[in-house]
Amino acid sequence: MQTFGAFLVSFLAASGMAAALPTEGQKTASIEVAYNKNYVAHGPTALFKAKRKYGAPISDNLKAAVAAKHSLTKRQTGSANTNPSDSADDEYITSVSIGTPAQVLPLDFDTGSSDLWVFSSETPKSSASGHTLYSPSKSSTAKKLSGSTWSIEYGDKSSSSGDVYTDVVTIGGFSVKTQAVESATKVSTQFVQDTVISGLVGLGFDVGNQVSPRPQKTWFSNAANSLAEPLFTADLRHQETGSYNFGFIDTSLAKGTIGYTPADGSEGYWGFTATGYSVGGAKLNRNSITGIADTGTTLLLLPDNIVDAYYNNVESAQYDDSQEGVVFDCSEDLPSFSFGVGGQTITISGDLLNLTPIEEGSSTCFGGLQSSADIGINIFGDVALKAALVVFDLGNERLGWAQK
Protein backbone atom coordinates (compact mmCIF):
# COMPACT_ATOMS: atom_id res chain seq x y z
CA MET A 1 0.00 0.00 0.00
CA GLN A 2 1.61 3.28 -1.11
CA THR A 3 1.94 6.09 1.46
CA PHE A 4 0.32 9.38 0.34
CA GLY A 5 3.78 10.84 -0.12
CA ALA A 6 4.94 7.98 -2.35
CA PHE A 7 1.68 8.23 -4.35
CA LEU A 8 2.13 11.97 -4.69
CA VAL A 9 5.70 11.57 -5.97
CA SER A 10 4.77 8.91 -8.49
CA PHE A 11 1.76 10.99 -9.69
CA LEU A 12 3.85 14.11 -10.06
CA ALA A 13 6.66 12.21 -11.76
CA ALA A 14 4.08 10.80 -14.22
CA SER A 15 2.78 14.32 -14.87
CA GLY A 16 6.31 15.61 -15.39
CA MET A 17 6.43 17.78 -12.27
CA ALA A 18 9.35 17.76 -9.87
CA ALA A 19 8.55 17.01 -6.22
CA ALA A 20 10.37 16.95 -2.83
CA LEU A 21 9.81 13.56 -1.19
CA PRO A 22 8.59 14.14 2.44
CA THR A 23 10.75 12.35 4.92
CA GLU A 24 8.96 9.62 6.92
CA GLY A 25 6.44 11.22 9.33
CA GLN A 26 6.91 14.74 7.81
CA LYS A 27 3.56 16.56 7.68
CA THR A 28 4.22 18.84 4.70
CA ALA A 29 5.30 18.52 1.07
CA SER A 30 6.24 21.13 -1.51
CA ILE A 31 5.88 20.91 -5.29
CA GLU A 32 6.87 23.15 -8.16
CA VAL A 33 3.90 24.28 -10.24
CA ALA A 34 4.56 24.46 -13.95
CA TYR A 35 3.73 27.87 -15.52
CA ASN A 36 1.77 27.49 -18.74
CA LYS A 37 3.65 29.98 -20.90
CA ASN A 38 1.16 29.41 -23.72
CA TYR A 39 -1.77 30.70 -21.71
CA VAL A 40 -2.89 34.14 -22.94
CA ALA A 41 -4.78 35.97 -20.20
CA HIS A 42 -8.17 37.43 -21.06
CA GLY A 43 -9.55 39.89 -18.49
CA PRO A 44 -13.26 39.40 -19.16
CA THR A 45 -12.81 35.62 -18.95
CA ALA A 46 -11.06 35.91 -15.55
CA LEU A 47 -13.85 38.22 -14.33
CA PHE A 48 -16.51 35.85 -15.72
CA LYS A 49 -14.98 32.88 -13.87
CA ALA A 50 -14.68 34.80 -10.57
CA LYS A 51 -18.31 36.01 -10.78
CA ARG A 52 -19.52 32.55 -11.70
CA LYS A 53 -17.53 31.01 -8.79
CA TYR A 54 -19.07 33.34 -6.21
CA GLY A 55 -22.53 33.55 -7.81
CA ALA A 56 -22.25 37.23 -8.74
CA PRO A 57 -24.52 38.56 -11.54
CA ILE A 58 -22.93 38.35 -15.04
CA SER A 59 -23.93 41.02 -17.57
CA ASP A 60 -24.80 40.21 -21.20
CA ASN A 61 -21.84 42.32 -22.29
CA LEU A 62 -19.48 40.21 -20.21
CA LYS A 63 -21.03 37.01 -21.61
CA ALA A 64 -20.66 38.37 -25.15
CA ALA A 65 -17.03 39.35 -24.56
CA VAL A 66 -16.22 35.87 -23.28
CA ALA A 67 -18.17 34.13 -26.07
CA ALA A 68 -16.43 36.22 -28.74
CA LYS A 69 -13.02 35.44 -27.26
CA HIS A 70 -13.62 31.74 -26.90
CA SER A 71 -15.69 31.51 -30.05
CA LEU A 72 -18.08 29.18 -28.35
CA THR A 73 -19.80 28.73 -31.69
CA LYS A 74 -17.87 26.49 -34.12
CA ARG A 75 -15.68 28.58 -36.44
CA GLN A 76 -16.96 27.93 -39.93
CA THR A 77 -15.71 27.52 -43.47
CA GLY A 78 -17.19 27.48 -46.97
CA SER A 79 -16.15 25.92 -50.24
CA ALA A 80 -17.68 26.57 -53.65
CA ASN A 81 -16.76 25.23 -57.08
CA THR A 82 -16.22 27.70 -59.87
CA ASN A 83 -16.25 26.99 -63.60
CA PRO A 84 -14.98 28.86 -66.69
CA SER A 85 -17.89 30.46 -68.58
CA ASP A 86 -16.60 29.53 -72.06
CA SER A 87 -13.66 28.09 -74.02
CA ALA A 88 -11.66 31.30 -73.47
CA ASP A 89 -12.03 31.23 -69.65
CA ASP A 90 -13.54 34.73 -70.08
CA GLU A 91 -15.02 34.65 -66.59
CA TYR A 92 -15.82 32.12 -63.86
CA ILE A 93 -19.27 31.09 -62.69
CA THR A 94 -20.10 30.18 -59.08
CA SER A 95 -23.54 29.18 -57.76
CA VAL A 96 -24.90 31.34 -54.94
CA SER A 97 -28.10 30.79 -52.91
CA ILE A 98 -30.17 33.86 -52.04
CA GLY A 99 -33.34 34.06 -49.94
CA THR A 100 -35.83 31.67 -48.36
CA PRO A 101 -36.53 29.29 -49.98
CA ALA A 102 -33.14 29.43 -51.70
CA GLN A 103 -32.98 30.96 -55.15
CA VAL A 104 -29.77 29.76 -56.83
CA LEU A 105 -28.06 32.16 -59.25
CA PRO A 106 -24.85 31.77 -61.33
CA LEU A 107 -22.65 34.70 -60.31
CA ASP A 108 -19.20 36.06 -61.18
CA PHE A 109 -16.92 36.44 -58.13
CA ASP A 110 -14.96 39.65 -58.56
CA THR A 111 -12.07 40.65 -56.27
CA GLY A 112 -11.87 43.86 -58.33
CA SER A 113 -15.20 45.26 -57.11
CA SER A 114 -17.25 45.37 -53.90
CA ASP A 115 -20.94 45.05 -54.80
CA LEU A 116 -23.12 41.94 -54.80
CA TRP A 117 -25.67 42.66 -57.53
CA VAL A 118 -28.11 40.43 -59.40
CA PHE A 119 -30.51 40.32 -62.29
CA SER A 120 -33.95 40.32 -60.64
CA SER A 121 -37.69 40.56 -61.04
CA GLU A 122 -37.04 44.32 -61.22
CA THR A 123 -34.77 44.07 -64.28
CA PRO A 124 -36.58 45.13 -67.46
CA LYS A 125 -37.96 42.02 -69.17
CA SER A 126 -36.14 42.87 -72.40
CA SER A 127 -32.82 42.88 -70.53
CA ALA A 128 -33.56 39.95 -68.25
CA SER A 129 -34.35 37.44 -70.97
CA GLY A 130 -32.18 34.32 -70.65
CA HIS A 131 -30.93 35.20 -67.17
CA THR A 132 -31.77 33.51 -63.83
CA LEU A 133 -33.54 36.10 -61.67
CA TYR A 134 -33.71 36.88 -57.95
CA SER A 135 -37.28 37.65 -56.87
CA PRO A 136 -37.28 39.33 -53.45
CA SER A 137 -41.07 39.03 -53.30
CA LYS A 138 -40.67 35.24 -53.28
CA SER A 139 -38.23 35.28 -50.35
CA SER A 140 -39.66 35.35 -46.81
CA THR A 141 -36.36 36.75 -45.51
CA ALA A 142 -35.99 39.59 -48.06
CA LYS A 143 -36.26 43.12 -46.69
CA LYS A 144 -36.16 46.28 -48.80
CA LEU A 145 -33.30 48.63 -47.76
CA SER A 146 -35.52 51.66 -48.22
CA GLY A 147 -33.94 54.75 -49.77
CA SER A 148 -30.82 52.91 -50.90
CA THR A 149 -29.68 52.78 -54.52
CA TRP A 150 -26.54 51.70 -56.33
CA SER A 151 -24.77 52.31 -59.61
CA ILE A 152 -21.51 50.78 -60.87
CA GLU A 153 -19.32 51.06 -63.95
CA TYR A 154 -16.53 48.59 -64.67
CA GLY A 155 -13.21 48.98 -66.42
CA ASP A 156 -14.66 47.79 -69.71
CA LYS A 157 -17.40 50.46 -69.48
CA SER A 158 -20.06 47.89 -68.71
CA SER A 159 -22.49 49.09 -66.02
CA SER A 160 -25.54 48.32 -63.89
CA SER A 161 -27.67 50.07 -61.26
CA GLY A 162 -30.77 49.60 -59.11
CA ASP A 163 -32.13 49.37 -55.57
CA VAL A 164 -31.22 47.26 -52.55
CA TYR A 165 -32.61 44.44 -50.41
CA THR A 166 -31.13 42.49 -47.55
CA ASP A 167 -31.50 38.73 -47.53
CA VAL A 168 -29.69 35.54 -46.52
CA VAL A 169 -26.88 34.70 -48.95
CA THR A 170 -25.19 31.29 -48.84
CA ILE A 171 -21.93 30.50 -50.63
CA GLY A 172 -20.29 27.10 -50.38
CA GLY A 173 -22.49 26.18 -47.39
CA PHE A 174 -21.68 29.33 -45.40
CA SER A 175 -24.58 31.74 -44.81
CA VAL A 176 -24.60 35.47 -44.17
CA LYS A 177 -28.03 36.24 -42.75
CA THR A 178 -28.34 39.92 -43.63
CA GLN A 179 -26.42 40.54 -46.83
CA ALA A 180 -27.06 43.58 -49.03
CA VAL A 181 -28.36 42.19 -52.32
CA GLU A 182 -28.31 44.88 -55.00
CA SER A 183 -31.18 44.34 -57.41
CA ALA A 184 -30.62 45.57 -60.98
CA THR A 185 -33.23 47.85 -62.50
CA LYS A 186 -30.80 48.70 -65.32
CA VAL A 187 -27.96 46.69 -66.94
CA SER A 188 -25.66 47.53 -69.87
CA THR A 189 -25.57 45.54 -73.09
CA GLN A 190 -22.46 43.58 -72.09
CA PHE A 191 -24.38 42.04 -69.20
CA VAL A 192 -27.65 41.60 -71.10
CA GLN A 193 -25.80 39.55 -73.72
CA ASP A 194 -23.79 37.56 -71.17
CA THR A 195 -26.57 35.17 -70.14
CA VAL A 196 -24.21 32.72 -68.41
CA ILE A 197 -24.02 35.01 -65.37
CA SER A 198 -26.82 36.71 -63.47
CA GLY A 199 -24.70 39.18 -61.54
CA LEU A 200 -21.58 39.59 -59.47
CA VAL A 201 -20.28 38.95 -55.97
CA GLY A 202 -17.79 41.69 -55.16
CA LEU A 203 -14.89 40.36 -53.07
CA GLY A 204 -12.99 43.65 -52.93
CA PHE A 205 -12.72 45.88 -49.85
CA ASP A 206 -15.86 47.53 -48.40
CA VAL A 207 -14.52 51.01 -49.22
CA GLY A 208 -15.32 50.23 -52.87
CA ASN A 209 -19.04 49.56 -52.32
CA GLN A 210 -21.32 51.73 -54.48
CA VAL A 211 -24.54 51.76 -52.43
CA SER A 212 -25.81 55.22 -51.50
CA PRO A 213 -26.46 56.87 -49.08
CA ARG A 214 -25.00 54.17 -46.78
CA PRO A 215 -22.36 51.90 -48.42
CA GLN A 216 -22.86 48.21 -47.63
CA LYS A 217 -20.44 45.44 -46.68
CA THR A 218 -19.36 42.68 -49.04
CA TRP A 219 -20.45 39.12 -48.39
CA PHE A 220 -16.90 38.20 -47.35
CA SER A 221 -16.59 41.19 -45.03
CA ASN A 222 -19.84 40.14 -43.33
CA ALA A 223 -18.62 36.53 -43.11
CA ALA A 224 -15.03 37.17 -42.01
CA ASN A 225 -15.52 37.29 -38.24
CA SER A 226 -17.46 34.01 -38.21
CA LEU A 227 -15.03 32.16 -40.45
CA ALA A 228 -12.28 30.00 -38.93
CA GLU A 229 -9.83 32.49 -40.47
CA PRO A 230 -10.63 35.87 -42.09
CA LEU A 231 -9.39 34.84 -45.54
CA PHE A 232 -10.46 33.19 -48.79
CA THR A 233 -8.57 31.49 -51.59
CA ALA A 234 -9.09 31.52 -55.35
CA ASP A 235 -8.12 28.45 -57.36
CA LEU A 236 -9.09 29.32 -60.96
CA ARG A 237 -8.26 26.72 -63.62
CA HIS A 238 -8.01 26.58 -67.42
CA GLN A 239 -11.05 24.74 -68.80
CA GLU A 240 -11.68 22.84 -65.60
CA THR A 241 -13.45 23.26 -62.28
CA GLY A 242 -11.70 25.35 -59.66
CA SER A 243 -12.79 26.64 -56.26
CA TYR A 244 -13.28 29.56 -53.91
CA ASN A 245 -12.61 28.46 -50.32
CA PHE A 246 -13.58 30.64 -47.36
CA GLY A 247 -11.97 30.49 -43.91
CA PHE A 248 -9.27 27.96 -44.70
CA ILE A 249 -6.35 27.27 -47.02
CA ASP A 250 -6.21 23.90 -48.81
CA THR A 251 -2.48 23.84 -49.51
CA SER A 252 -2.90 20.61 -51.51
CA LEU A 253 -4.30 22.77 -54.32
CA ALA A 254 -0.79 24.15 -54.95
CA LYS A 255 2.60 22.67 -55.78
CA GLY A 256 4.68 25.55 -54.42
CA THR A 257 5.05 27.33 -51.09
CA ILE A 258 2.71 30.25 -50.39
CA GLY A 259 4.60 33.54 -50.49
CA TYR A 260 2.91 36.49 -48.77
CA THR A 261 3.09 40.17 -49.61
CA PRO A 262 1.22 43.16 -48.13
CA ALA A 263 -2.16 43.96 -49.72
CA ASP A 264 -3.31 47.58 -50.14
CA GLY A 265 -7.11 47.76 -49.91
CA SER A 266 -7.34 51.56 -49.81
CA GLU A 267 -8.82 51.82 -53.33
CA GLY A 268 -11.15 48.87 -52.79
CA TYR A 269 -8.96 46.50 -54.79
CA TRP A 270 -6.47 43.85 -53.63
CA GLY A 271 -3.36 45.88 -54.53
CA PHE A 272 0.15 44.45 -54.29
CA THR A 273 3.64 44.76 -55.77
CA ALA A 274 5.40 42.06 -57.75
CA THR A 275 9.17 42.30 -57.31
CA GLY A 276 10.22 41.51 -60.87
CA TYR A 277 9.48 39.46 -63.97
CA SER A 278 11.05 37.32 -66.66
CA VAL A 279 10.18 35.75 -70.02
CA GLY A 280 10.72 32.12 -70.97
CA GLY A 281 12.14 30.91 -67.66
CA ALA A 282 14.98 33.46 -67.51
CA LYS A 283 16.15 34.84 -64.14
CA LEU A 284 13.71 37.34 -62.64
CA ASN A 285 14.76 40.99 -63.07
CA ARG A 286 14.17 43.54 -60.30
CA ASN A 287 11.64 45.71 -62.11
CA SER A 288 8.74 45.89 -59.64
CA ILE A 289 5.15 45.92 -60.87
CA THR A 290 2.37 47.39 -58.74
CA GLY A 291 -1.08 46.09 -59.63
CA ILE A 292 -4.19 44.31 -58.41
CA ALA A 293 -5.25 40.67 -58.09
CA ASP A 294 -8.53 40.73 -59.99
CA THR A 295 -10.68 37.63 -60.53
CA GLY A 296 -13.21 39.76 -62.49
CA THR A 297 -10.76 40.60 -65.28
CA THR A 298 -9.97 37.96 -67.89
CA LEU A 299 -6.52 39.16 -68.95
CA LEU A 300 -3.08 39.92 -67.55
CA LEU A 301 -2.69 43.66 -68.20
CA LEU A 302 0.82 45.11 -67.76
CA PRO A 303 2.87 48.14 -68.92
CA ASP A 304 3.86 48.41 -72.60
CA ASN A 305 7.57 47.82 -71.93
CA ILE A 306 6.79 44.42 -70.38
CA VAL A 307 4.27 43.51 -73.07
CA ASP A 308 6.88 44.35 -75.74
CA ALA A 309 9.60 42.39 -73.92
CA TYR A 310 7.32 39.37 -73.97
CA TYR A 311 6.02 39.53 -77.56
CA ASN A 312 9.54 40.23 -78.93
CA ASN A 313 9.92 36.50 -78.29
CA VAL A 314 6.84 35.63 -80.35
CA GLU A 315 7.77 35.54 -84.06
CA SER A 316 4.27 36.15 -85.49
CA ALA A 317 3.06 38.63 -82.84
CA GLN A 318 1.54 41.89 -84.07
CA TYR A 319 -0.87 44.52 -82.81
CA ASP A 320 -4.34 44.10 -84.40
CA ASP A 321 -6.32 47.35 -84.39
CA SER A 322 -9.67 45.61 -84.88
CA GLN A 323 -8.96 43.28 -81.95
CA GLU A 324 -7.41 46.13 -79.91
CA GLY A 325 -4.67 43.78 -78.81
CA VAL A 326 -1.66 41.65 -79.75
CA VAL A 327 -2.43 38.57 -81.84
CA PHE A 328 -0.23 35.78 -83.20
CA ASP A 329 -0.36 32.47 -85.11
CA CYS A 330 -2.20 29.94 -82.96
CA SER A 331 0.42 27.35 -83.95
CA GLU A 332 3.26 29.29 -82.34
CA ASP A 333 4.72 27.92 -79.09
CA LEU A 334 4.55 30.81 -76.62
CA PRO A 335 7.21 31.45 -73.97
CA SER A 336 6.18 31.42 -70.30
CA PHE A 337 5.94 34.62 -68.25
CA SER A 338 7.08 34.71 -64.60
CA PHE A 339 6.73 37.26 -61.83
CA GLY A 340 8.13 37.41 -58.33
CA VAL A 341 5.84 37.92 -55.33
CA GLY A 342 6.29 37.27 -51.61
CA GLY A 343 9.63 35.59 -52.22
CA GLN A 344 8.08 33.11 -54.64
CA THR A 345 8.15 32.93 -58.44
CA ILE A 346 4.86 32.42 -60.24
CA THR A 347 5.29 31.10 -63.78
CA ILE A 348 2.42 31.39 -66.27
CA SER A 349 2.87 28.71 -68.93
CA GLY A 350 2.83 29.65 -72.62
CA ASP A 351 -0.40 27.68 -73.04
CA LEU A 352 -2.18 29.92 -70.51
CA LEU A 353 -0.94 32.98 -72.44
CA ASN A 354 -2.75 31.90 -75.60
CA LEU A 355 -6.27 33.00 -74.73
CA THR A 356 -8.33 31.98 -77.77
CA PRO A 357 -8.67 32.22 -81.56
CA ILE A 358 -9.88 35.71 -82.53
CA GLU A 359 -12.88 34.02 -84.17
CA GLU A 360 -14.25 30.51 -84.20
CA GLY A 361 -11.92 28.40 -86.39
CA SER A 362 -9.40 31.21 -86.98
CA SER A 363 -5.67 30.36 -86.97
CA THR A 364 -4.95 33.75 -85.41
CA CYS A 365 -5.03 33.82 -81.61
CA PHE A 366 -5.48 36.62 -79.04
CA GLY A 367 -2.85 37.07 -76.32
CA GLY A 368 -3.63 36.61 -72.63
CA LEU A 369 -1.04 39.34 -71.88
CA GLN A 370 -2.06 42.79 -73.10
CA SER A 371 -1.23 46.43 -72.39
CA SER A 372 -2.53 48.24 -69.30
CA ALA A 373 -1.48 51.62 -70.77
CA ASP A 374 -5.02 52.95 -71.34
CA ILE A 375 -6.29 51.66 -67.98
CA GLY A 376 -3.89 53.35 -65.58
CA ILE A 377 -3.55 50.30 -63.35
CA ASN A 378 -1.85 46.93 -63.85
CA ILE A 379 -4.22 43.99 -63.51
CA PHE A 380 -3.24 40.43 -62.64
CA GLY A 381 -6.48 38.95 -63.97
CA ASP A 382 -7.55 35.37 -64.57
CA VAL A 383 -4.65 34.60 -66.96
CA ALA A 384 -2.23 35.16 -64.06
CA LEU A 385 -4.47 33.78 -61.32
CA LYS A 386 -4.84 30.46 -63.17
CA ALA A 387 -1.15 29.78 -62.57
CA ALA A 388 -1.49 30.10 -58.79
CA LEU A 389 -3.39 29.40 -55.61
CA VAL A 390 -4.08 32.92 -54.33
CA VAL A 391 -4.83 33.70 -50.68
CA PHE A 392 -6.86 36.87 -50.05
CA ASP A 393 -6.02 37.38 -46.37
CA LEU A 394 -8.17 40.20 -44.97
CA GLY A 395 -7.11 39.55 -41.36
CA ASN A 396 -3.45 40.17 -42.11
CA GLU A 397 -4.07 42.54 -45.08
CA ARG A 398 -1.86 40.44 -47.30
CA LEU A 399 -1.97 38.35 -50.46
CA GLY A 400 -0.48 34.86 -50.69
CA TRP A 401 0.65 33.33 -53.97
CA ALA A 402 1.68 29.70 -54.58
CA GLN A 403 2.59 28.07 -57.92
CA LYS A 404 0.03 25.48 -59.07
**Residues with active-site annotation:** 110, 294
Residue 313: closest CA among 287, 336, 283: 336
List of residues contacting ligand ZSD (CB under 6 A):
90-91, 108, 110, 112-113, 154-156, 158, 190-191, 194, 200, 294, 296-298
Compute the least distance from the CB of residue 159 to ligand ZSD, in Å: 9
Identify which of residues 117 and 328 has a Cβ nearer to ligand ZSD in the complex: 117
Compute the least distance from the CB of residue 399 to ligand ZSD, in Å: 16
Compute the least distance from the CB of residue 163 to ligand ZSD, in Å: 20
d(CA 388, CA 165): 35
| Number of Cβ within a 10 Å radius of residue 193 | 10
Compute the least distance from the CB of residue 306 to ligand ZSD, in Å: 19
- Give kind and range of the element (H or E) at residue 60: helix 60-70
Q: Would you tell me the crossing angle of helices 60-70 and 43-53 to the nearest 10 degrees?
A: 120
Compute the least distance from the CB of residue 191 to ligand ZSD, in Å: 5
Identify which of residues 122 and 294 has a Cβ nearer to ligand ZSD in the complex: 294
Identify which of residues 112 and 172 has a Cβ nearer to ligand ZSD in the complex: 112
Identify which of residues 175 and 185 has a Cβ nearer to ligand ZSD in the complex: 185
Identify which of residues 296 and 367 has a Cβ nearer to ligand ZSD in the complex: 296
Compute the least distance from the CB of residue 307 to ligand ZSD, in Å: 18
Provide φ and ψ at 43, rounded to 5°.
-50, -60
Strands across the sheet with 325-329, in order? 318-320, 325-329, 364-367, 354-357
d(CA 155, CA 292): 13
395 torsion bin: left (phi>0), alpha (psi -120 to 50), beta (else):
alpha
d(CA 149, CA 211): 6
Residue number, nearest CB to ligand ZSD: 112
Identify which of residues 69 and 186 has a Cβ nearer to ligand ZSD in the complex: 186
Compute the least distance from the CB of residue 41 to ligand ZSD, in Å: 44
d(CA 119, CA 131): 7
Identify which of residues 310 and 380 has a Cβ nearer to ligand ZSD in the complex: 380
Residue 217: closest CA among 114, 325, 94: 114
Using CA atoms in the order 8, 14, 18, 21, what is the torsion angle rounded to 10 degrees? 30
Beta-sheet strands, E only, within 230-330: 231-235, 242-246, 259-262, 271-274, 276-279, 289-293, 300-302, 318-320, 325-329
Amino acid at 35: Y
Query: Within 78-210, where are the H helices?
Result: 125-128, 189-193
Identify which of residues 163 and 294 has a Cβ nearer to ligand ZSD in the complex: 294
d(CA 98, CA 268): 24
Compute the least distance from the CB of residue 47 to ligand ZSD, in Å: 47
The 10 Å CB-count burial string (b at 16+, else e) for 13-41 is eeeeeebeebeeeeeeeeeeeeeeeeeee
One-character DSSP codes across 121-135: TTS-HHHHTTS--B-
